[in-house]
């Protein structure tokens, strides 16, 4: 007969954290939210970490390049949605990787025989007003000069005027040489009142540009998640159908982390996909699998070689997998079970597999609960869909603005590859596992995320934890009744109207 779990399937809303002793140094400003997102051995550092334990969901209505840039600048990571053509997804990844702070490889380079018309066309295409001029027009050619908006006047100069006639020549430029630090480059920029500083080698070949605006930007975003080349870190979603064509394009575009996007990851298709990536790329790109809700599913994907495992089925605000198929598990129960399996595996093998809690987050404190229960980071969709940076439309309904938000299992997404079962195709998607909806418009990502992170750090301080690891080791959690949930909110009062 079927195996029946005796434990009740529980959600985050059924739990509260108990406060621990808060020492004088345990204040929000000292809380470290850095967390691993790829497996590592005991005593070693994870090859890939996030500065805040939050990533955005692999969804059409959530994770495009604009949101990925905004979230990476805040310290998190986005997974560019995979339910689009390979070329479009790779292009989004490239846009994130090219948005650099620090040492930037130019993608707006000209030759001396180009014309002002070419300059204006490149400006319209890239919106980059600073254009290096090299001998061959490549980003790594011999630097001959540079063009900025101060070098020409559209109202007076002919469109046929050659770049070599109006560029600032190399002899009159201030440059830095390869090996210079970012701090030293910024000092030169400030001392010479420059907007940018080209970095060349001893043969005058161009390597990078350093911009004044990036220095200011970094000061405003100290938690930016950058790779070794000072590019923003970005992930990408894949499926188990076209991965042999999609993965090479995403790796070429610069994706740092891949994740197989599926409502059910406990399948042979995921096993084969992960093994293919591990064999073909030998660690060049990391890959996560999921979603699973128990020890068996976790260990299966770990055996396949997954660098992290995503947990949760049916807990998303637009997900109706449980309603349609009767499959899933309360998110809290799923995270606790998989985290226990992860810890057992770590003790036995010395290999730590990060887990991602995907779904079930309603309130900000639920993020802390997920982390305390063992998750290393959380994935959210509805939370990010509300912001300016998400790709969905902002529309007005009644007196309020909302943003569209739809699930990958909805007919609008028509993401048949995500819910693929073998040889079936798009025309055989007989029912939906997601809905099409609206979420209240909330403004800019950074403004909202700053508030959420403040709440998370404050809650961790009350729990006496300065790191996520310490939170997992020392937190105390209690179950709550329905009446205590009611007690926890405003009750037995008449709330004032905010009419000012």
Please list the active-site residues.
319, 418
* Residue 178 phi, psi dihedral angles, 5° rounding: -50, 130
Distance CA 96, CA 103 (A): 15
Tokens of 143: 């630097």
Report how far Cα 322 is from the mean position of its chain's Cα atoms: 27
Collapse the DSSP code of 189 into the 3-class scheme (helix H, G, I; strand E, B; otherwise coil) and give the result: helix
127 near 101, Cβ under 8 Å?
A: no
Comparing CA positions, the residue from 96, 391, 82, 407 lying closest to residue 258 is 82
Distance CA 58, CA 72 (A): 15
* Residue 396 phi, psi dihedral angles, 5° rounding: -105, 130
Distance CA 465, CA 467 (A): 6
Angle between helices 331-349 and 364-372 (to 10 degrees): 30
Distance CA 139, CA 98 (A): 13
Comparing CA positions, the residue from 306, 305, 319, 419 lying closest to residue 355 is 306
Tokens of 64: 């495009």
Beta strand 143-147 pairing with 168-169: antiparallel
Residue length, the chain?
500
Hey, CA dihedral for 396, 386, 454, 76, is it positive or negative? negative
Left, alpha or beta for 418 (phi > 0: left; psi -120 to 50: alpha)?
Answer: alpha
Distance CA 303, CA 272 (A): 11
The structure tokens 């910024």 sit at: 186
Going from the C-alpha of 275 to that of each of 241, 271, 301, 425, the distances in angstroms are 14, 6, 10, 23
Where are the alpha helices (H) located in 127-282, listed in sequence order? 163-166, 182-191, 212-220, 243-253, 268-281
Distance CA 416, CA 428 (A): 8
For 134-144, letters b (16+ CB in 10 Å) and e give: beebebebbbb
């Amino acid at each position: 007969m079927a195996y029946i779990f005796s434990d009740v399937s529980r959600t985050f809303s059924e739990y509260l954290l108990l406060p621990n002793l808060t020492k004088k140094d345990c204040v929000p400003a000292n809380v470290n939210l850095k967390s691993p997102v790829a497996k590592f051995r005991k005593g070693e550092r994870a090859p890939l970490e996030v500065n805040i334990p939050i990533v955005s969901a692999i969804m059409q209505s959530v994770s495009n390049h604009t949101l990925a840039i905004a979230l990476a600048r805040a310290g998190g990571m986005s997974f560019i949605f995979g339910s689009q053509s390979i070329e479009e997804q790779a292009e989004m990844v490239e846009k994130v990787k090219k948005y650099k702070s620090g040492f930037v490889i130019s993608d707006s380079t000209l030759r001396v025989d180009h014309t002002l018309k070419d300059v204006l066309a490149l400006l319209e295409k890239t919106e980059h007003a600073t254009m290096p001029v090299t001998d061959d027009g490549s980003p790594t050619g011999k630097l001959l000069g540079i063009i900025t908006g101060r070098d020409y006047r559209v109202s007076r100069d002919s469109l046929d005027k050659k770049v070599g006639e109006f560029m600032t020549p190399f002899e009159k430029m201030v440059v830095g040489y390869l090996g210079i630090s970012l701090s030293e480059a910024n000092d030169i920029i400030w001392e010479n009142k420059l907007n940018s500083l080209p970095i060349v080698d001893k043969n005058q070949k161009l390597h990078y540009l350093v911009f004044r605006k990036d220095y200011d930007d970094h000061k405003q975003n100290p938690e930016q998640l950058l790779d070794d080349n000072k590019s923003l870190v970005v992930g990408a979603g894949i499926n188990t159908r076209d991965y042999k064509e999609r993965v090479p394009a995403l790796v070429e575009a610069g994706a740092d982390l891949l994740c197989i996007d599926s409502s059910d990851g406990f399948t042979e298709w995921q096993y084969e996909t992960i093994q293919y990536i591990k064999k073909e790329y030998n660690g060049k790109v990391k890959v996560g699998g999921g979603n699973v809700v128990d020890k068996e599913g976790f260990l299966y994907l770990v055996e396949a070689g997954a660098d992290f495992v995503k947990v949760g089925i049916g807990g998303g605000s637009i997900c109706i997998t449980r309603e349609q198929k009767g499959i899933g598990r309360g998110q809290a129960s799923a995270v606790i079970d998989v985290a226990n399996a992860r810890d057992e595996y770590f003790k036995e093998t010395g290999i730590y597999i990060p887990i991602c809690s995907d779904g079930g987050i309603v309130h900000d404190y639920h993020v802390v609960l997920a982390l305390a229960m063992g998750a290393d980071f959380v994935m959210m969709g509805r939370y990010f869909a509300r912001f300016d940076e998400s790709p969905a439309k902002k529309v007005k309904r009644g007196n309020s603005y909302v943003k569209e938000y739809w699930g990958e299992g909805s007919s609008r997404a028509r993401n048949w590859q995500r819910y693929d079962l073998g040889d079936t195709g798009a025309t055989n998607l007989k029912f939906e596992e997601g809905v099409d909806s609206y979420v209240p418009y909330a403004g800019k990502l950074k403004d909202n995320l700053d508030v959420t992170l403040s709440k998370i750090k404050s809650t961790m301080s009350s729990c006496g934890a300065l790191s996520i690891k310490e939170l997992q080791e020392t937190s105390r959690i209690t179950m709550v009744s329905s009446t205590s949930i009611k007690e926890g909110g405003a009750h037995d009062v008449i709330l004032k109207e905010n009419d000012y």
